[in-house]
Each structure stands twice: as C-alpha cells, then as structure tokens.
Amino acid sequence: MRPPPQPIRTGAVWAGIGLAVLGHLMCAGLVAAALWGAGDAADQALIGGSLLGQLVLFAAVVTAGTVLIVKGDRGLGIGLFIGWAAGLIVLPLVGFGLCVALVSAQ
Amino acid sequence: MPAGTHDVFVALGLAVAGLVFAAEVRRRGRHDERLWYLVAGVLVGGALFGRLGTWLQHLDLRQNATLAEQWAYGNRSILSGLAGAYLGVLVAKRLSGYRARSGDLFAPAIAAGMAVGRIGCLLTERPGTPTGAGWGITVDGVPRHPSFAYEIAFHLLALAVLILARDRITQPDALFTGYLAGYAVFRFAVEFVRGNEVVAAGLTRPQLFLLACAPLLAWRLLVLARQHRAGLPQEVPV
C-alpha cells in the first residue's frame, strides 16, 4: 500500500518557482553570450538559440516537474510548473529584448 | 517607452493577481493544498494559449506562421490566454481531485492583474482608432481612442463590483461567470475602437473569437440561472 503523500510545503513551491525562473534567465544569458561570437549570423543564432533553449527548458521542467509531483516533493514539482509558466509570460520577452540590444550594439 | 516597459507591467500584473488570489483564499477560508495545482494550471494554460492562441488565425493554413515563428514573433493574446487558463484549471482539477468551484477565487485576481498589466499596453502599444474626443491620445499627430485606458477602467470597476458583491452573491461561480460575461461584452464593444485588423463581416479576430465562445458562455449563464431558481446547494463539497 502506498504511503499517503507528504503535504505540499509552501517553501518547496517557491523553491521550484525560483529554479524555473533561474532556468529562463540562464537561457536568455546563454543565448546572449553565444551572440557575441556569432558575428553576421547573429540574427539566426538569436532565434535558433532562443527557441532551442526554451525547448530544453520546457522538456526539463515537464520531466522533472511530473516526476516530482508523482513520486517526490510535490511542492517543488508544482513550483517548477508555476515558475516556468510565469517566466514564459514575462521573461523570454525581456531576454529577447536583451539579445536584440546586444545584436544592435555589435 | 523602453521595450521592457510592457513586460514590467505584465510582471507586476502577475504579482498583483497572485496577492489578490491569496487574499481571497484567506478571506473565504478556502485553504487547500490542491489550490497550488489550480494555480499551476491557470498559469501553464494561460501562458501556452496566450502565446500560441493566435497561431491558426488564417483559414488558409499556408498563410499561418510556423510554430517556431509564432513562438518567437507571434502576437500574444489575452483572450486566448484566458481561455487557456480556464482549460488549465479544468485539467488541474481533474488531476488533483479538487471538486469545489474555484472561479470566484480567481475573478478578483484576474481583474486586478489585467488592470495593472494593461498599463504596459497603454504605454507601449498603438492605443486605438482616431477620435475627435477631447481625451484622445495623440500619436503621430492623430488623436486616438485610449482603448487600453478604457479596458483598465473596466477592470477596476469590475474589481470594485466583485469586492462589493462577493458577500451578497453566494452562488458558486456566479461572480466569475458574470465577470467573464461582462468582459466579453465590453471587449467586443471596445474592439470597434481598438484599431485591430478587420477580417470578416466588419469584425476583428477577437470579436470573432468572442462570438465563437458566446454559446458556451450563454450556456453557463443559463445553468447558473437554473441552479439559482432551483435553489441548489450553494457549495459543492470538496
């Protein structure tokens, strides 16, 4: 018989949110860093890198979040989903703007 | 305005919505850990549909952007974001086993968050169609309807009504459904001065989307009215 699930800890939810937002920021930062070396192909690198980064982040959040919700710390798993979605609404555009600014400055 | 202005207000809107939601949960004494699932459902559904909701906007599929283009450059849509958030809650309820009505917990949060988030639109987007009214915002020498200011005023008014009526209207989801219906009507009307592209029958895409959703909303209102007349229990057991 499966033991009853542990209660959802608010602190764990916030930790998950922080991790997901950090993931968004890392994606934006990595793309921005990669742009410095891209030269004339910066536009393609911007789009390709940004999309790839977000795809990897999405896969990581869905996998880790689902596993955590089903088998581990539910709060952390739910927090990952909340942070990913909130970051999706707000942060990619900020990151995109940062990258465009970097390209323009080159 | 700097490019980040819009996003700052969107972020502020999210934060305000979160605070108002938490306050409403506390006020109604609806503490339940499964509400976290619902919050995740709202945000994931809203974020995905808000970003991809305008993807299939042409009946000729060849005219639509690729998924990657839509993700990177496509328009964000509040209406499809709301629809996605609604679906997200339904999925989250199914997954978590939470059965109680939750719309009234979210309604004030949505109104408050939209009022703040739309400030970003007001400051960064083309406001509306040309107007001779004295309150027009002049862009490129042409006074235009401040359609986002109208929307901010609507959400603030709706928030006030929701707060004033929440202790009097106790039928579950009545406030939320009323708010959605009010916003749908308001948004349909304000689209005439928003300046969005007219695509068919003199209507914009958001208006057509609202017309498509109207039967669902009407059905929901009808169900609520029937429940009210029948005097059904006010709260579904969790």
**Which helix (H) or strand (E) segment is B199 a member of?**
strand B198-200
Average pLDDT along chain A = 80
Please list every residue in chain A whose beta carbon sits closer than 8 Å to the beta carbon of residue B72: 47, 50-51, 96
pLDDT at B200: 86
pLDDT at B64: 74
Please list every residue in chain B whose beta carbon sits closer than 8 Å to the beta carbon of residue A94: 4, 7
Flag whether residue A94 sits within 8 Å of chain B, measured between CB atoms. yes
Please list every residue in chain A whose beta carbon sits closer than 8 Å to the beta carbon of residue B47: 85-86, 88-89
Axis crossing angle, helix A74-105 with helix B5-28, rounded to the nearest 10: 160
- Residue B186 lies inside a defined structural domain of this protein: yes
State whether A86 and B6 contact (CB < 8 Å).
no
- Tell me the mean pLDDT in the region A61-84: 93
The upper half-sphere exposure of residue B8, i.e. CA atoms within 13 Å in the direction of its Cβ, equals: 9
* ipTM, interface predicted TM-score of the complex: 0.82
Please list every residue in chain A whose beta carbon sits closer than 8 Å to the beta carbon of residue B68: 47, 51
State how far Cα A6 lies from the chain centre. 26
Please determine, for residue A95, whether its predicted confidence score (pLDDT) is greater than 60.
Answer: no
From residue B186, alpha-carbon distances to B9, B201, B234 in Å are: 22, 19, 28
Q: Which of A84-88, A100-104, B173-177 has the lowest mean pLDDT?
A: A100-104
Please determine, for residue A36, whether its predicted confidence score (pLDDT) is greater than 70.
Answer: no
Q: What are phi and psi of B138, to 5 degrees?
A: -85, 120
Instruction: List the single residue in A51, A89, A97 with the smallest CB-CB distance to B3.
Output: A97
pLDDT grade for A102, boundaries at 50, 70 and 90: low
Please determine, for residue A97, whether its predicted confidence score (pLDDT) is greater than 70.
Answer: no
pTM: 0.84
CB A76 within 8 A of CB A66: no
- Residue B117 lies inside a defined structural domain of this protein: yes
Q: At CB < 8 A and 24+ separation, what contacts does B30-33 make?
A: B30/B100, B30/B105, B32/B98, B32/B100, B32/B238, B33/A7, B33/A8
d(C-alpha B226, C-alpha B237), whole Å: 20
Flag whether residue A75 sits within 8 Å of chain B, measured between CB atoms. yes
Which DSSP string corresponds to B98-137? Answer: --S--HHHHHHHHHHHHHHHHHHHHHHS---SB--STTPE
d(C-alpha B111, C-alpha B132), whole Å: 29
pLDDT grade for A41, boundaries at 50, 70 and 90: low
Please determine, for residue A67, whether its predicted confidence score (pLDDT) is greater than 70.
Answer: yes
pLDDT at B43: 94
What letter would DSSP give residue A2?
Answer: P
d(C-alpha B203, C-alpha A52), whole Å: 37
- Residue B169 lies inside a defined structural domain of this protein: yes
CB B120 within 8 A of CB B9: yes
pLDDT at B238: 45
What does the block give as tokens for A54?
Answer: 């977000």
State whether A78 and B10 contact (CB < 8 Å).
no
What does the block give as tokens for B29?
Answer: 């004494």
The domain of B218 spans 101-238
State whether B36 and A85 contact (CB < 8 Å).
no
Percent residues over pLDDT 70 in chain A: 67
Which DSSP string corresponds to B133-193? Answer: STTPEEETTEEE--HHHHHHHHHHHHHHHHHHHTTT--STTHHHHHHHHHHHHHHHHHHHH
Domain total of chain B: 1
- Residue B183 lies inside a defined structural domain of this protein: yes
For each of chain B's 238 residues, which pLDDT tens digit applies?
Answer: 555 788 788 889 999 999 999 999 999 988 889 999 999 999 999 988 888 877 776 666 677 777 776 776 666 788 888 999 999 999 999 999 998 899 999 999 999 999 999 998 888 888 889 988 888 888 888 899 999 999 999 999 999 999 999 988 888 889 999 999 999 999 999 999 998 889 888 999 899 999 999 999 999 999 988 888 887 655 554 4
Please determine, for residue A78, whether its predicted confidence score (pLDDT) is greater than 70.
Answer: yes
Strand partners of residue B204: B198
- Using CB atoms within 10 A of its CB, is residue B41 exposed (0-12), middle (13-18) or buried (19+)? buried
